[in-house]
Every structure is written in C-alpha cells, then in structure tokens.
Amino acid sequence: MITSTCRSFIPNEYGADFSVFPERARELGTMYVEAEDKVTLGRANDISFVRVSYVLGIIYNSKSGHTQLKWRHVRGDQGRLSGEASTNTMVNLYEAGALDKSFIRTIAVSISSFPNRLQTWIVKTSFNRVRR
C-alpha cells in the first residue's frame, strides 16, 4: 500500500517500521487495516499512519474505483487476496512481493492480447504476507 499511495511523503520515522501501515478514509479510496491492536501515530496529507500488531485483514479500494481488494489472514504468514485489480495495481503487488512471477506470466498473455483495453483482473490467490 505504501508503494502506491504515500512512498513520496511517508515520515522517515515510519518508513523503516514494518508494523506501520497507511489508512485513508472511504471517500478518498479506502485503505483500512484490521488488526488485534492498532494505534494511530499521525497524519500526512490525507493519510493516517497506524502501528499494528497481528494483521487480520486489509481492505484497499483505489481512488479511481478500478481496484477493490481484500486480504485476509489464513494461518502463519499466509493470507488470501481477493477482489478486482487494475494492471497498475498488479504491478505494485508484484513489486511488493505479493504476487509471484508465475501468476504474472499467466496474466501477461491476456494483457498482450488486449493491449489497448483497460484491464481489470479478478485476483484470488494465496501469498506470503507482505509487511505493507
């Protein structure tokens, strides 16, 4: 979430802390973290930064409305990501390590078949939990 929303302005003291997550109000495109424990640390622009322990779920809806994703903890460091994602979001998920190369290769065929069409992907996959 940090990669696609606030990497350019996240306060330095939060950037290296993997327990800090961004949150944003629904009308601006939802970013919400469900956790056993959560403390609001501060705000920058339209983003609140929270420190969490034991993430149970994450809800992300882009400002454009092209991406609606939910991540749910399954067990250990595993989770399940589901929803619809734009191509840009898929790139961000890959860069963050949330999607692996085999999944990207699978959808690359579809992208090359329809290069001028806005792509929305139905994402249902399990992956190792990404810290942010």
% of the chain residues with pLDDT over 70: 74
Other C-beta atoms closer than 10 Å to the C-beta of 110 total 12
Band the pLDDT of 7: cuts 50, 70, 90.
Answer: low
Question: Which carries the bigger pLDDT value, residue 107 or residue 124?
Answer: 107
Domain limits, the chain: 1-27+37-54, 62-127
Average of per-residue pLDDT across 10-27: 82
Average of per-residue pLDDT across 111-128: 50
CA 6, CA 62: separation in Å to the nearest integer? 13
Contact 131, 18 (CB under 8 A): yes
